[in-house]
Amino acid sequence: MEETLLEVNDLKQWFPIRKGFLQRIVGHVKAVDGVSFAINRNEALGLVGESGSGKTTVGRAVLRLYDPTAGEIWYTSSDGERIDIANIDQADMKPLRKEMRMIFQDPFSSLNPRLTVKDLIGEPLIIHKEASGRQLEDRVSDLMTAVGLDPNYMRRYPHEFSGGQRQRIGLARTLALRPRLIIADEPVSALDVSIQAQVLNLLQELKDELGLTYLFIAHDLSVVEHMCDRIAVMYVGRLVEIADSDTLLRRPLHPYTEALVSAIPPADPEIKLNRIILEGDIPSPANPPSGCVFHPRCLYAQEQCTQEEPHLEEIEPGHFASCHFASELTLQGIGDVERA
């Protein structure tokens, strides 16, 4: 049986809206509203969706950078103990931070410009009392080599490196404590395309060599297809579809996923895209639509969609979708797009 490393049940992350002199709470931004998923050991789960859908908030809540409003986050630690991260205090989280790490989106703002590369990569080792002195320098050297950086540059500062090199520094810092779970928050979105490929290939190699598990957050489905075993699609704080990568891209069951798939550029420039353009913008999580949150932009919406909220259900083995008509609609996948 595959070992479940992380299991998230009905996670909610609501932020209060305050107004007036007394700062009274007049509403909530429902950034994450009832999300559930699981990740197996040595698996990469892609979390995709438009900006504002709540992807990054999920990652930060899993690491307890935010205190969840409700729900459970079960993590299986290295000693086999299942821990509900959502309901422990920050002092109990400290030992788990060695096993759960994050790669931040911006490779420059996530690095302290006043620290050298040696200090940046070695800081987690010092905080958790893993190494010091000559041993610390050796560990930093090994980590830099592992991510493709020259250890002779460890006394340089972040501004002396390119964007791709800075992301590698952040990756070395993430790997310093030999984590088991990595939350990768759009780790290549700020990089040039050629550098993106290098970093993605490096992440894939490290996953295989070190047995890492990824929650890979992105908005580019072509990147997620390359990296991930399964894909979960988010929209306005909720999951609308989950399946293995090949199934979801070739046979989507939710209209929102269909629109995302249609935006993937084909490998052959001669192929004409049958692009689906959604009207309007993603709704505000402070005031989501009634019924299905996607119905104002859905090409297939009916009256039921405006009144009843669909739930994430298993339509096919291992393929979950949140749509009233998921079993009835015939939606185009990546193969259909390429034949258009």
Q: Residue 1's pLDDT is what?
A: 46
Q: Residue 126's pLDDT is what?
A: 93
Report whether pLDDT(235) > 90: yes
Q: Residue 335's pLDDT is what?
A: 66
What residues pair up with 6 in beta bridges, in sequence order? Answer: 39, 75
Average pLDDT value for the chain: 90
> Please, is 82 exposed, middle or buried when counting C-beta atoms within 10 Å of its C-beta (0-12, 13-18, 19+)?
exposed
H helix or E strand, kind and range, residue 13: strand 4-19
Q: Residue 71's pLDDT is what?
A: 96
Q: At what angle do helices 133-146 and 117-127 cross, to 10 degrees?
A: 120
Report whether pLDDT(247) > 90: yes
Single-letter amino acid code for the residue at 203? L
Residue 37 · residue 71 · CB < 8 Å: no
Report whether pLDDT(136) > 70: yes
Mean pLDDT computed over 216-237: 91
What is the CATH class of 4-228? alpha beta
Q: Residue 317's pLDDT is what?
A: 94
Q: Hey, what's the torsion of the CAs at 233, 214, 40, 313, to 10 degrees?
A: -10
**pTM (two decimals):** 0.90
Q: What is the pLDDT of residues 37-46, one digit of tens each?
A: 999 999 999 9
Q: What is the pLDDT of residues 165-216, one digit of tens each?
A: 898 899 899 999 999 999 999 888 777 777 788 888 888 988 988 899 999 9
CA dist 83 and 250 (Å) reads 36
Backbone φ and ψ of 247, nearest 5°: -65, -45
Domain ranges, ordered by start, for the chain:
4-228
Q: Residue 86's pLDDT is what?
A: 93
What residues pair up with 7 in beta bridges, in sequence order? Answer: 38, 74
CA dist 93 and 90 (Å) reads 5
Mean pLDDT computed over 305-318: 94
- Secondary structure, 3-state, 106-162: CCCCCCCCCCCHHHHHHHHHHHCCCCCHHHHHHHHHHHHHHCCCCHHHCCCCHHHCC
> Please, is 114 exposed, middle or buried when counting C-beta atoms within 10 Å of its C-beta (0-12, 13-18, 19+)?
exposed
CA dist 125 and 114 (Å) reads 18
What share of the chain has pLDDT > 90, as a percent?
64
Mean pLDDT computed over 135-141: 94
Q: Reduced to 3 states, what is the DSSP secondary structure of residue 243?
A: strand
Q: Residue 40's pLDDT is what?
A: 95
pLDDT band, residue 2 (cuts 50/70/90) = low
Nearest to 157 by CA among 145, 148, 146, 166: 166
Range among 82-86, 193-197, 205-209, 221-225 rated most confident: 82-86
DSSP 8-state class, residue 195: H
